[in-house]
Homo-oligomer: A and B are copies of this chain.
Amino acid sequence: MSIDSQTAVVRRFNRSYTQRIGVLEDSFLGMGAPLGTMRLLFEIGTHAGTVADLRDRTGLDSGYVSRQLRRLTEDGLVSLTSDPADRRRRLVELTPLGRARWDELEARSAERARALLDPLTERQRDRLARALAEADLLVRSALVTFETVDPLSDGARAAVEQYVAELATFFPFDPGEPSEEDAAEFRPPSGRFVLAVDDGAPVACGGLRDLGDGVAEIKRMWVHPGWRGAGLASRLLRHLERTAADTGHTAVRLDTNENLKSAIAMYDHAGYHRIARYNDNPDATHFFEKPLT
């Protein structure tokens, strides 16, 4: 299928899906308060926090949010308390009444989704759910961005932690606390640490360090379990290769463990060839290299 016909499919879908079904928005209507107010209530219920927090997430104006919050507190749906840590700040929370309204919003939204499925037969419902799940995974992965970050930044630490926890289920593995000298290897000029971010949350990572002789090594490559099967690993791998080339390397190496079957299959498929052991990593059983053009 050409990119033009793919584009046409996306546009056609957009039209029939978003134009003809008042998808989420309408759930916020008819609740006795204007849409914007309800949207804010929904946002607070999803994640309480400070006013600034709320502004950041919604992208709304300070004055506007302030007024909406006043309305919500007057209606008894939201409570504002000053933050003991910094008394300029105000903490926003739902009251029990507000929580009840939030639940109602949730229920309406679910009802709306159900109304879409309702006229379909069981088989069609299943087909639709499968198609949307597949589309969801791909759409989300299209929106993932790769960022070069410091290996000791919060995001990087969170990702590596999950990577370590997961490896530990395959073989005994405990690299201890992340150290400053270890992190230095993954910093510029010769190293990099790349984080794949979806909506602010890290969903994949990978580090590059210099081995000398124009060779870079890929380490700590990990993809969030919920994101596998969408081709994110391949995209990350290609991104790391390009980054290695940009930092003046002519080849990349990596090692892995025989238990990580799908990783090995991916390296084979991505143009890596197997080489002899090039380090003394006791956990590694397979060693790969790929020349960078």
Q: Give residues in A with beta carbon < 8 Å to B.
A: 1, 3, 5-7, 9-21, 23-24, 109-110, 113-114, 116-121, 123-129, 131-136, 138-144, 199, 230-231, 234-235
- Indicate if the CB atoms of A132 and B129 lie closer than 8 Å: no
Partner of A138 from the list B18, B120, B140 (CB cut-off 8 Å) is B120
Most buried by B among A21, A116, A121, A199: A116
- CB neighbours (8 Å) of A123 from chain B are 231
27 CB < 8 A contacts A-B: A3-B117, A3-B125, A6-B117, A6-B125, A10-B113, A10-B117, A10-B132, A12-B136, A13-B132, A13-B133, A13-B136, A14-B24, A14-B113, A16-B140, A17-B135, A18-B24, A19-B24, A119-B142, A119-B143, A121-B231, A123-B231, A124-B138, A128-B139, A128-B142, A131-B134, A131-B138, A135-B135
Closest to A145 in B: B119
- Indicate if the CB atoms of B7 and A117 lie closer than 8 Å: yes
> In the complex, what distance in Å separates the CA atom of A25 from the CA atom of B271?
42
How far, in Å, is A210 (CB) from chain B's closest CB? 28
Q: How many copies of this chain sit in the oligomeric assembly?
A: 2
Partner of A17 from the list B20, B110, B136, B231 (CB cut-off 8 Å) is B136
Most buried by B among A113, A118, A123: A113
Contact A135/B132 with A7-B114, A23-B18, A24-B19 known, Cβ cut-off 8 Å: yes
- Indicate if the CB atoms of A142 and B113 lie closer than 8 Å: no
- CB neighbours (8 Å) of A133 from chain B are 9, 12-13
- Indicate if the CB atoms of B7 and A113 lie closer than 8 Å: yes
Partner of A6 from the list B14, B126, B141 (CB cut-off 8 Å) is B126
How far, in Å, is A161 (CB) from chain B's closest CB? 25
> In the complex, what distance in Å separates the CA atom of A141 from the CA atom of B118?
11
- CB neighbours (8 Å) of A14 from chain B are 23-24, 113
